[in-house]
Structure 1
Amino acid sequence: MNENVTVRRIGANEVAGYVESLADVLIDCVEGGASVSFMLPISRATAVAFWTGVAHGVARDERILLVAENVEGHLLGTVQLVIDQPENQPHRADVAKMLVARRARRQGIAGRLMTAADDAARNAGKSVLVLDTVTGGDAERLYERAGWQRVGVVPNYALMPDGTPCGTTFFHKQLV
């Protein structure tokens, strides 16, 4: 685990200042083959527009945004909790866009982001978390190690950034 990395929640008053760095991480991940809702080639404008929308969601208390930064203040990874749910699901949150820059992988950053997401969800009064990920990818193992339970797989659910169909595995976690 890299002790020179800090994981923290970004508040509504500072999220706009992170949009460019978040766009860098998103572009890096998509260019590295991550199936996270975007196709190649991903433009900077597309990435910035996405994160601008996330910033608005943070400002409206619809999302919690967590980031991992090194001691120099460079953004290495991020994860979100979508906490704005239907009225019959006030106890649930969706984990979204768990991204770690390729240069920062295999250092325990994703695990730390997920632990911070669990803590933030508890603090927000959430007890059930759900997420989905590419079937057969490294993230599946990460989630299983972190106590997530596999629900099932939907074949050909999404596309990889190059257009190749991929399955998606759904997970849930009950927070206690």
Structure 2
Amino acid sequence: MATPDFIRDLRATIGHRLLWLPGVTAVVFDDDGRVLLGRRADTGNWSVIGGIAEPGEQPAAVAVREVFEETAVRVVPERVVLVEALPSLTYPNGDICQFMDTTLRCRAVGGEARVNDDESLDVAWFALDALPDLEEFALTRIRRAAEEGEAWFEGRGEVPALS
């Protein structure tokens, strides 16, 4: 994933310290119920499409932008699937990040799926019963996006104790 300029600017000031970032994941379905996946250039693994929101950018706009940038597919976001703070991670260069992921179910409305940038090695549509090997992150999002119902939130319904 290419590092956005605003993150490079922040890193020049804060170094490798923890950076909290808004991430957006798009689970894209076509009219046949297949899901769009990309094989990431950085890991070689298949995954759902996603990226980092630019300052002031709305989650739905991030989903539309990221899917098009990576796959040349046009989408319409349909609903929020889940919102989750992910565990922090440390990159090989020492940068520490933690993402707040908003996952949106999206419907493909145009374009032909193809590699459209340098972040992907391949893109393809997969039937839900014929998915490639995926990490739990992607599987969870696909399962929840395929379900009808309400968005999922970590800790939903739990009221913290008052001090």
Question: Structure 1-normalised TM-score?
Answer: 0.23
Which structure has the bigger radius of gyration?
Answer: 2
- Give TM-score scaled by structure 2 length: 0.24
